[in-house]
Structure formats: structure tokens, C-alpha cells
Chain A
Amino acid sequence: MDVLREPLYRTVRLIRRFEERAIELVRTGVIVGGIHPYIGQEAVAAGVCAALRDDDIVLSNHRNHGHALAKGSEPRRVMAELAGRITGIDNGRAGSLHISDYERGLYGATITVGHGAAIATGAAWAASRDGTDRVVASFIGDGAMNQGALLETMNLASLWRVPQLIIVENNLYATTQPVGASTAGSITGRAEAFGIPGRTVDGMDPEAVLEATTEAVQRARSGGGPSLLEFMTYRFDAHHTFEYRVRLRYRTQEEIDHWRERDPVVVQGSRIPDEAREHIDQEIEDVLADAVQFAQDSPKPDPADALEYLYATGLRPRPGVVS
């Protein structure tokens, strides 16, 4: 674990600063449509992905930038993607919401909450039936717990004993809905009902996340089937940057301040020497300065290519107007 102290810090810090720089680009209009900031939840992505191998697979959701960075996607190509540039990781077709990076095992980010976990079950089924020991981690929010397809897929994952990790980032809210007002029983209790081991873990501490995930990964790799990990976390920022314009009062300043005391960047930063931390911080500033520049300087896609990639076979559909 000790050898991962600095890499974990590096990841949480990278995600934090990436998101802050991205928010600047939202404000200046370089990123159109806003983002779902991951600020506050960095420990979850960092700890989970540190427990995974490069060839393991991740399915993500709307709050996906942290997952991509933690899985190893290049910051400049992710930033360019957010800005809709042709140099983006998905050639400018994913935007903020649908990052995928097949070279890094990131199979995509799907916004129908909970449904990415079912896609993950399929990948995990194929991974195990093809005789590999690769595992699939699916990130969902607390709000996804009330989606039928998620409950269906917990049943399938358990029935088929697939190597899947259901990572629940319980940040206490689904947009404005408090988890207690929307979710009967408990999240781990639902997993247990399907015969899936469930654990609730501190999601503000990257090392606690890593420890819990490592155990679940080992179980999955050795044929022990799926696990559900509920990480208690908090987003310090808005649900989505649109919230900057519409003041929503669904949580108190006291609550936000309380969680900010457990800032994962501070938690992990305090575990490494000052010198190492300062060095990492500077390196990240450089990486992100380059990423922002790269995103801004990169060309936008050619409107003539608006139908490109629609079909894997290259089928070109009929145009919308015929002259």
C-alpha cells in the first residue's frame, strides 16, 4: 500500500485540478453544455482504478472524467474531448458525458443511470467465459440503485458469478434527492438480497477505497463472483455546472463544510512528504496547462463529417434534405 501513496495522491490531485480547469473552460464557453464535476469524489476513482490492472475494464456514468483519468486516459485528449475537438479521445463525439477509451479498457460512459452496470455484466460474462481473469468495474451513483435494470443485472451478475465490481459512489444525493428519501432499506442490503457481498467503505480516503477494492478484485479474479462496494462520498461542487446559474437549496452549507474537512486530496496529501507533494503538484500544473492549450488549439470536427462513425460498418444514412 505504501508504494501507492504517491500515485494515489497524484491521481486525486490530477482529477481535482483537471475538473477545476475544465470548469474554467465551461465558464469561458470552450466547453459547451457544462460538466458534472467530480470534485470531492476523487478518492473513489483513484482507489478503485489503482486496484485494477491495465487490461481490466471500466464502465462509467455521467460523472466520468475522474474514472477516465484514474484508468490512465491522457488528460490532454480527455480535455480536448470535453471541448469537442477532433483530437479528443473519442474524436470529439463523446463530449463530457460519454468518454470511452478502448486502449485503456474504458468501454464507455452511459447516462441512463444504472444501465452501465448491466453492460458491465455482459463484458464480465464474456471475460470469464473466454477464460480470462480480467475483471470489470462499473461505477454508478446512489440514484442508480432505484433503476430496474440495475436490480435485474445484480441478479444476473450473481447468478452467472461474473467478475464484476459494482462501485456505488454514494454522494448522498441524486441531483437534489437525498438518498434517504429515495432509497428504501440499504444499498448493501440490496446486494446481499441477490447473494452479492456488499460493503460500506469510507469513500473520502483513497487508501481505504484501494484496500476494499483490492479484496473485491481478488474475489472476482479467482472466480468468486461479483461484489458491491458502497463508497460514502460527497461532491463538493454542483450536480452539474448548470447549477451555478440556478441556485438550488437542497443541502446546507454546514453539511458541505463538514465533508470538506475530509477532502481526499488533503487526506492523501498529508501522507506523503511535502517535497514529493510539491513536485507532483507542479508536474500536474504543467500537464494541465498543456491539456488546456491542446484542447483550445485543436481543430473542431468538419461539419461534413457529422455522420461519421454512426455505423461501425461505415453505412452512410440518407441526408436530411435532398436537392
Chain B
Amino acid sequence: MPKLSYLKALNRALGEEMERDPSVFVLGEDVNHAVTNVTAGLLDRFGPDRIVETPLSEQAVTNVATGAALWGRRPVVEFAIPFLLQLVLEQVVNQAHKFSVMSGGQARVPVTYLVASSGWRPGWGGQHSDQPHGLFVHSGVKTVMPTTPTDAYGLLLTAIRDDDPVVFIAPRVALDVREDVDYADLVPVPLGSARIHRTGHDVTVVAIGHHVHDALAVAEALADEVSVEVFDPRSLYPFDWAALAESLSRTGRLVVIDDANRSCGLAAEILATAAEEMPLTAPPKRITRPDGAVVGCNPDLDLALQPNRDQLATVIRQVMKR
């Protein structure tokens, strides 16, 4: 079976969807030369009216995508780095997201905002390493963060086909993941559907983004002492609460690991919801970056600020003691 990389999966999904639906096009910086690899080969295939190189004008370009979507197109706006999503927070949350309701259902804004690499970049300073997914989840913008090539493929198709704005965040660490796949098995993945990568009966670890791979490694390492279920939401908003409730009805114990700041983060929401609505036999725990953390200033310090496998193993043991 061929090896599929995460970026190749994105490139494949995008190319196939552009082939299938002429309303799909890409807006972004350096997309002609495919600096991120996401648009590799697509300019030759589709030409400059489908792979649209933009100046460094993210706020206007994000609104341009909204306007083209209102016309009937399905734009994919590519951002190479996560802080650009913060730069266009207004254009996504206050413009694109609100057109449907403010028009009383007349308008649709099917835009995909694709961040091709998000999270910690060692040595890239304090401004390149944020994980902005929580901002969009909080705002009610559909948000996905797949962590395997097959899910990246399937969720990109779904994001493009969805009639609402969707933020698609690719965790940088997950870009290194490769999978043996049969191309025939590549299918759309619905929004709001979690994936259980490993079943277990003692504790559910909800792992966001690339931490899925950490959780799988820790689950394997602890296999003799505790049976860990690894739960990957994939779609952060809408979230598959039913699947989480089902998992917790079997394990009764919850640990969440999320490489994002602590206050008001997605991990907090998962804990709160589980505590309010789901059967827990022990108090849940979360592992996150500290409150307000700035990551990227110094590679040695950065590691102290991000969740890691040792912390996960420790917390799993703590939760098991209760």
C-alpha cells in the first residue's frame, strides 16, 4: 500500500475537490510556488483563476472569500502560519460566520480557512507558535483539527463541501505522520464525529490534535497497568458529545490533553461538560499550556510550557487512584 503523508493528503483532497466542483478555488500567499506543499501542482492543473496568489492582505482577502462565497463560490483560504487566523478573527467570526443568521437564512458562506501548520515551531520566536482553535470553537465557527493523513483528507473534503465557514487547522507535529493507505479507502469524514483510535475500559484520554499520537504511545507504554481509551475528537466544533458520553459510560474516568492555553480552552469545556452531563467515577483532569503562555521564545523553555507524555502518564495514574 502507498504511504500517504499528511500534506499529500491535503494536496490530494484539494485537487480532487477542485476537479469535481468548479466553484472551488484557493486564495493564499505563495500558493503558486506551493511553499507549504498544499497546492503543489495545482497551478499547472487549474490555472491562476483557481489558484489565486494574493498579496499580504489577509483581512481583505478573508473578506474577499466571503464575497466570492456569497456569489456562490467555495473558496479555500490558505494561511501558512497560525497567527494569521488571529489577524482575521474579525473577518471570520464577525463577518463570515454571521451572514447566515443576519440575513435570516438567505446567505451562505461556504469558506474553508486552512492553516497548513499550527502550533509550536522551535526557534521561530514567540509569535509563530500559537494554537488558535479555541478562539473559533468559542465563537461557534466550525473547527476541525485532524491528526492523521486519512482524517486530514476526509475532513478537508467535508470542510470544503460544508455550507458554513470551517476552520481547518493542521497541527505542525502531525505533518510528519505518514500512513499506509489504500486510496480507495479515502472518504469524507463528517463533522462532529470523533474517532476512537484505541479502545480501553479504565480511562478515556481525549487528545486534541497531535497529542493523539502521544496518547497512543502512552497508552501502549502503560498497557500492563491501565487500559486507556484514546479519543480523538477530530472535529472540535461541532464536538461529538454523544461519543464522549458513550466512552465515559464505559470508563468513568477522563483526562484531556490539549496544546493550548488553559483558561477558557477546549479542555476546560470538555471537562465542564463531562462533569455536568456525563457519568464520572473520578474527578477529571486536563493537561494544557499554562494560562496565557507564550511559546517559541526559546526551545528549552518551550518544552516546559507544553503538555508532554510524562505528564500524561502521571495524570492518568492520578486519575486511576481515585
Contacts and interface: CB of A to CB of B under 8 A. Distances in A.
Interface of A: 57, 59, 88-94, 98, 100-102, 107-108, 110, 112, 115, 118-127, 129-130, 136, 148-150, 152-153, 155-156, 159, 308-313, 315, 317-318, 322
Contacts of A98: 102-103
Interface string B60-72: 1101111111111
B105 interface: yes
Contact of A100 (B54, B60, B67, B103): B103
Closest 3 CB pairs of A and B: A122-B67, A91-B104, A118-B63
A123 B57 CA distance: 17
Contacts of A59: 67
Given A93-B104, A126-B73, A311 B65 contact: no
Contact of A152 (B57, B101, B110): B57
B64 A156 contact: yes
A118 B59 CA distance: 9
B276 interface: yes
Contacts of A308: 101, 105
B100 A311 contact: yes
Contacts of B277: 322
Interface in B83-102: 90-91, 94-95, 99-102
27 contacts: A91-B105, A92-B104, A93-B103, A94-B102, A98-B102, A100-B99, A108-B99, A108-B107, A112-B90, A112-B95, A118-B63, A118-B67, A119-B95, A122-B70, A126-B67, A126-B73, A148-B59, A149-B57, A152-B60, A156-B64, A159-B55, A309-B104, A311-B163, A312-B105, A312-B109, A315-B164, A317-B140
B110 A149 contact: no
Q: Contact residue range for chain B? A: 35 or more
A153 B90 contact: no
Contact of B163 (A102, A126, A153, A312): A312
A159 B60 CA distance: 13
A315 B164 CA distance: 10
B70 A107 contact: yes
Contact of B238 (A126, A152, A315): A315
Interface of B: 49, 54-55, 57, 59-61, 63-73, 75, 90-91, 94-95, 99-110, 140, 142, 162-164, 238, 241, 276-277
B104 A313 contact: no
Contact of B108 (A101, A108, A312): A312
B151 to A, nearest CB: 20
B58 to A, nearest CB: 8
Contacts of A57: 71
Contacts of A315: 142, 164, 238
Nearest to B99: A108
Nearest to B102: A98
Contact of B67 (A89, A94, A123, A322): A123
A311 B67 contact: no
B101 A93 contact: yes
Contacts of B94: 112
